[in-house]
Structure 1
């Protein structure tokens, strides 16, 4: 049995999961795997190629043509879709507006979960998403469930998107977050739920440094004893 450590971070959209995960990975020298980016990359491929998400055959065929990987860079991990850097494009509103629909497709989730489990099989990883602690790694040593006030999440996301999309409105961002929350928690395939043994982190009024300190306090005891 592998003795690597898995830190599973689940939670709502725009809660700062990836920000915390990156900081943890850097501090602990773990590998960070952004599963949300994987679903966004699949969504981008489907949009570019006009894949009918209601056609199981076309979805399955398209998945066979998709290769997702990550590449370290000075400004963080870059996301590659069939060897093309799509790190910026997958953060656009068109992808954000469709990713929940794509992520709810059984065949897509099965393919991504299999890939995620393979990635985290033998190395110490920080992995964030919607079902990491419940489906991908239900026996992860550390499970974190992140949440925050929807209005605060929308404000954070708006500030992040505005420089790249000056035409975007706060109402658009808030509505998108509300829709994604609903879609993520009500879908039939691996809905967003808090694992019973997850530690809840409401970061509505916490700074990134405070979130990092809180989480490190939960992880460090694992590192101090035998793995």
Structure 2
């Protein structure tokens, strides 16, 4: 019995470290909600590209962000991303969005807008379910600085490029490992060097290198960290089972 999550788990780190897969799987295991903040920036980026604006023009990007009708699901089994009533879960993972999202995410006002929405979602899910796993690049430092557990996932650039290339190929997108690695390293540099909320570990974050770890090993490590912080409680189903009560 793993238990049910109570509180917020903040998962940060660069692309290719396994954040999305790990966050969703952990949320499933612990009967918690799930939020992919990066998907929100990608959706705004897609909106900007569709509007034909220059993503290097902050005012134009802000105008698009303010007018976009954006929604994200918090069910780890079906984390939908909706833009203007259209499911854009696949479109936001394309190469054009990937190459432009850092510019959009660097706009301070866009970050302020989305962080406000993200915090509201987190509060709502915690009120409803008790716990949530949130992934991104500034969760532990900005979005949820009071999270009971903050983890910064890392992996070598080569490993991350291989994972991202495999994900793209599995999704039907062409991917060359060398090109992907160059893109990964470029985005790392942009996200870590931006003036607004740069990507970095929170001072009190646990750092976990996933380069040589299988998914289940990463999940086990995170469950152990959550348990050590008393974030896991016995579910009613497990309690009834142990007591012999009818379900």
TM-score, normalisation: structure 1: 0.92
Q: Which of 192, 195, 199 is the matching residue for 2:202?
A: 195
Deviation string for 1:83-122 (max 9, x for gaps)? Answer: 2100011111111111111111111111110110110114
Residue in 2 that maps onto 1:104: 106
Secondary structure in 2 matching 1:184: helix
Q: Give the 3-state SS of the residue equivalent to 1:14 in structure 2.
A: coil
The alpha-carbon distance between structure 1 residues 90 and 166, as it changes in their structure 2 partners (threshold 3 A), is closer
| 1:26 aligned residue | 28
CA 224–146 in structure 1, closer or farther in 2 if over 3 Å, else same? same
1:223 aligned to 2:225? no
Name the CA distance, whole Å, in 1 between partners of 2:106 and 2:71: 21
SS at structure 1 position matched to 2:63: helix
What residue number does 1:94 align with? 96
Q: Give the corresponding residue for 2:153.
A: 146
Check whether the contact 2:15–2:184 (CA below 8 A) recurs between aligned residues. Answer: yes
Secondary structure in 1 aligned to 2:231?
helix
> Does residue 128 of structure 1 match 2:135?
yes
Distance in 2 separating the partners of 1:69 and 1:185? 26
* Preserved CA contact (<8 Å) 1:43 1:99: yes
Distance in 1 (CA, whole Å) between partners of 2:133 and 2:75 is 17
- Answer yes or no: is the 8 Å Cα contact 1:59–1:107 preserved in 2: no
Q: How many residues align?
A: 222
| Structure 2 residue matching 1:6: 3-state secondary structure | strand
Residues 1:212 and 2:219 are matched in the alignment: yes
RMSD: 1.9
> How far apart are the structure 2 equivalents of 1:56 and 1:99?
13
| Distance in structure 2 (CA, Å) of the matches to 1:141 and 1:72 | 19
Where does structure 1 lack aligned partners over 5 or more consecutive residues? none
CA distance in 2, matches of 1:16, 1:91: 15
Which residues of structure 2 form unaligned runs of 5+? 1-5, 235-247
Q: Is the 8 A contact 1:158 1:173 kept in 2?
A: yes
Residue 60 of structure 2, aligned match among 58, 61, 68: 58
Helix, strand or coil at the partner of 2:232:
helix
From the superposition, tell whether residues 127 and 215 of structure 1 become closer, same or farther in structure 2 (CA, over 3 Å): same
Evaluate the alpha carbon distance shift between residue 141 and residue 18 of structure 1 in structure 2; reply closer, same or farther with a 3 A threshold.
Answer: same
Using the alignment, how far apart are the partners of 1:212 and 1:166 within structure 2?
28
- 1:4-59 C-alpha deviation (Å, 9 max, x unpaired): 61111110111110111101110111110000111111111111111233444333
Q: How does 1:9-88 map to 2 (within 5 A)?
A: 9-71=11-73, 76-88=78-90
- 2:188 paired residue among 168, 181, 184: 181
Tell me which residue corresponds to 1:8.
10
When the two structures are superposed, what TM-score results if normalisation uses the length of structure 2?
A: 0.84
2:33–2:75 Cα contact (<8 Å) kept:
no
Secondary structure in 1 matching 2:27 = helix
Q: Which has the larger radius of gyration?
A: 2
Asked whether the equivalents of residues 34 and 74 of structure 2 are also in contact (C-alpha less than 8 Å), the reply is: no
